[in-house]
Structure 1
Amino acid sequence: MRKSSPSARRPRSAFRRLAEALALLIAVTASALLWTSPAQAHGTVVDPATRAYHCWEEWGDDHLNPAMEQEDPMCWQAWRANPNTMWNWMSMLQDGLGGQFEARIPNGKLCSNNHPNFESLNNPGPWKTTDVGDNFSIHLYDQASHGADFFRVYVSKQGFDPKTQSLGWGDLDFITETGSYPPANDITFPVQTSGYSGHHIVFTIWQASHLDQAYLMCSDVNFG
């Protein structure tokens, strides 16, 4: 049998070393992605459902159904304006507001948190509502367990019409501010109100604990 010379074996050995290096690089990259992926996830109020979360929950698996245009026209217009409104329901955040919510988020932009991907959420119209009583609970689902420095909850004033008006700071009644919450996937806290009836917006500010990240969210409710 003919033996290979050292010079003939060298390219094969170099190739093997290259393959091993590439395999290691792929493994390290995959591990890094697995490690960092939770940090890319965020959250939202799921009950009463925010506008973006409702659209994803109701139509995420059925977004090509033409019935959405007639059955849920506000989700339809949001989907047509930017599909990310539905797919990225957990990412409606602003960095570095420093608690200056009213100064930094303009009137008419509250429901989008002044975020361009969610601009359609500011549009007035027949948004689907969640039925609530005077006393109800807010449930936050947080994929990455950021925790909360606090939550602030407001309700649109009696007489404000979400079907015809975009929300501004002067349209809100302050209801409550909570204390801090430790990291968890699910945070639920009670809200007590009185004197409201019909379609209102529950406006929630979630100040996350891990960074200066603020989530400003609109949930449409019907006070029975």
Structure 2
Amino acid sequence: MSSTFRMPGKKGLVLAAAAGLGLPLAVAAPALSHGYTTSPPSRSSLCNTGQVQNCGAVQWDPQSIEGPKGFPQAGPADGKICAAGDSRWAPLDDPRGGQWPAARLNSGQSFTFTWKLTAAHATTSFRYFITRNGWNPAQPLTRAALEPQPFLTQNYDGRQPPSNASHPGRLPAKQGRHLILAVWDIADTGNAFYLCSDVTFG
């Protein structure tokens, strides 16, 4: 890793029976990778632990914030980045007046980002972006609100990360309230995971 900074269920039995009868099958490939940031805690993590209420379905599914990869040139539309462009997770895009609980960090300090991966997968990289000075925390996240380059990248070159992935690095020099966007790029699908974490630099 390099760094720049059982038994078949009913569905399986039905498919097997259909195959035995020579019937055509159309089976969607399952999403095999899921995960979310735990330090600093992502919005989906805060919903899962009950620290934030009225989150909708993400409360029970914090690891599934998945959308098209290619960020920032492609990927979720502006204003829908924290939900990865998926309407099921729309409460994550709501800035709540800039009042999401924010983890306290120190400007420029060494810091280790951690993830809980419920299903790991071949990985291209994990990238970490941060908002620009003067961004508006009361507005949904847009590309224009972010610094154009990630301040930390962990390259995996197609390898699979551990279930408790950690990425040490150095935080940028910032003051006040900011948002960190973590992007987990999957190597062998067209998707990535998008996790927004609210932070405050002392």
Common topology (TM > 0.5): yes
Q: Which amino acid aligns with 2:88?
A: N
CA change 1:216–1:41 in 2 (3 A) is: closer
1:139 aligns with 2:122: no
2:42 is aligned, of 44, 50, 56, to: 50
Name the stretch that deviates more: 97-106 or 135-144: 97-106
Q: Which amino acid aligns with 2:134?
A: G
1:156 aligns with 2:131: yes
Report the 3-state secondary structure (helix = DSSP H, G, I; strand = E; otherwise coil) of the residue aligned with 1:109.
coil
Gaps of 5+ in 1: 1-26, 60-71
* Map of 2:60 onto structure 1: 87
- Identity level (%): 24
* Map of 1:65 onto structure 2: none
CA change 1:103–1:197 in 2 (3 A) is: same
Of structures 1 and 2, the larger Rg is shown by: 1
1:190 is aligned, of 168, 177, 198, to: 168
Name the stretch that deviates more: 190-199 or 84-93: 190-199
1:216 is aligned, of 191, 194, 197, to: 194
Residues paired across the two proteins, number: 172
Gaps of 5+ in 2: 1-6, 14-29
More helix by share: 1
Q: Deviations over 1:102-148 (max 9, x none)?
A: 33321111111111011111111300011122232211111112242
Work out whether residues 126 and 182 of structure 2, in 8 Å CA contact, stay in contact via their aligned partners in 1: yes
1:101 positional shift: 4.3
CA change 1:104–1:213 in 2 (3 A) is: closer
CA distance in 1, matches of 2:193, 2:117: 11
Report the 3-state secondary structure (helix = DSSP H, G, I; strand = E; otherwise coil) of the residue aligned with 2:53.
helix
* Map of 2:141 onto structure 1: 167
* Map of 1:177 onto structure 2: 153
Q: Which amino acid aligns with 2:201?
A: F
CA change 1:143–1:77 in 2 (3 A) is: closer
Q: Deviations over 1:24-75 (max 9, x none)?
A: xxx6437x69xxxx96662111111110111212x1xxxxxxxxxxxx6xx3
Work out whether residues 161 and 200 of structure 1, in 8 Å CA contact, stay in contact via their aligned partners in 2: no
2:9 is aligned, of 25, 29, 35, to: 29
CA distance in 1, matches of 2:62, 2:127: 19
Higher RCO (CA < 8 A, seq sep 6+): 2
CA distance in 1, matches of 2:117, 2:188: 12
Work out whether residues 72 and 143 of structure 2, in 8 Å CA contact, stay in contact via their aligned partners in 1: no
Q: Which amino acid aligns with 1:179?
A: N
Q: Deviations over 1:145-184 (max 9, x none)?
A: 224210111111112132x121100111121322115331
Q: Which amino acid aligns with 2:153?
A: E
CA distance in 1, matches of 2:130, 2:179: 6
Work out whether residues 36 and 44 of structure 2, in 8 Å CA contact, stay in contact via their aligned partners in 1: no
1:118 aligns with 2:89: yes
CA distance in 2, matches of 1:200, 1:110: 15
